[in-house]
A and B are shown apart, each in its own frame.
Chain A
């Protein structure tokens, strides 16, 4: 187990919280994962740190990223969000909610013809900006939209 734990720590650059990693079942021998879960970015408590963990710090504002989300979400537990990137060569889309305990919601990576579009539903703790970062052609872009939340959907 120790050897695997080392591998995991090295792979993610994370320190501590090994118990979570073990509970997460990521360390089973022989298990093939597409990519290692970016624990550093997902555990970050600020959007800036999460963006750093994903190598998109310093992303440039772009009007070519369209975020479709409600202006007012009655229930923060289910907020539909649709992101379209019109930037050519979009390879990944990341979604953050600034005010959530862990702002990073999800990271989507595209290949083999998948378009720069993703639609999902997220949880929001409170009224916040929904921030999107896009990687395209080795550069990072960002856009955000405020969503007002009447009832929070994280914790309780």
Chain B
């Protein structure tokens, strides 16, 4: 998926402030299609892993109730400018999304 994520990481004192915006429909599986009356199957990111220079800092499990095009913000103490931050996400259909940025 192209442009699956937008990321920004900035230093705030000795802490890196990371913001991630993912491009995903986050379908709950509870909504009905207005035309057919059928339930729209669930399709949502359920696993997100963030790493700094390859070291995992955050592991998240999500349900379908994270808002559409999910936003995630977190802070990492001890990170430095130039550190590489990677995010890997997997949805309930096994589709993968990933993003990468360097701390500014």
- Please report A residues at the B interface, Cβ cutoff 8 Å: 23-26, 28, 31, 33-35, 37-38, 42, 77-80, 82, 97, 100-102, 104-115, 117-124, 153-156
Contacts and interface: CB of A to CB of B under 8 A. Distances in A.
B49 A24 contact: no
A109 B90 CA distance: 16
Interface of B: 15, 19, 26, 28, 30-32, 41, 46-47, 49-50, 52, 55-68, 70-79, 90-95
Given A35-B59, A117-B74, A154-B28, 16 more contacts: A23-B92, A24-B92, A24-B93, A33-B47, A34-B59, A78-B67, A105-B62, A110-B74, A111-B56, A111-B59, A114-B50, A118-B72, A120-B72, A123-B64, A123-B66, A156-B31
Contact of A28 (B19, B61, B74, B94): B94
B26 to A, nearest CB: 8
Given A107-B60, A115-B76, A119-B74, A25 B28 contact: no
A34 B49 contact: yes
B66 A122 contact: yes
Contacts of A35: 47, 59, 61
Given A97-B65, A123-B65, A106 B93 contact: no
Q: Summarize B's interface: helix, strand, loop or mixed.
A: strand
A102 B65 contact: yes
Contacts of A111: 56-59
B84 to A, nearest CB: 14
A114 B90 contact: no
A119 B73 contact: yes
A133 to B, nearest CB: 13
Contacts of B19: 119
A108 B94 contact: no
Contacts of A114: 50, 57-58, 74-77
A113 to B, nearest CB: 4
B36 to A, nearest CB: 14
A-B interface, 4 closest residue pairs, ranked by CB to CB distance from nearest: A25-B94, A119-B73, A121-B67, A114-B57
A154 B30 contact: yes
A121 B65 contact: no
A42 B92 CA distance: 13
Contact of B57 (A78, A79, A97, A113): A113
A78 B68 contact: yes
Given A34-B47, A101-B30, A156-B32, A109 B60 contact: yes
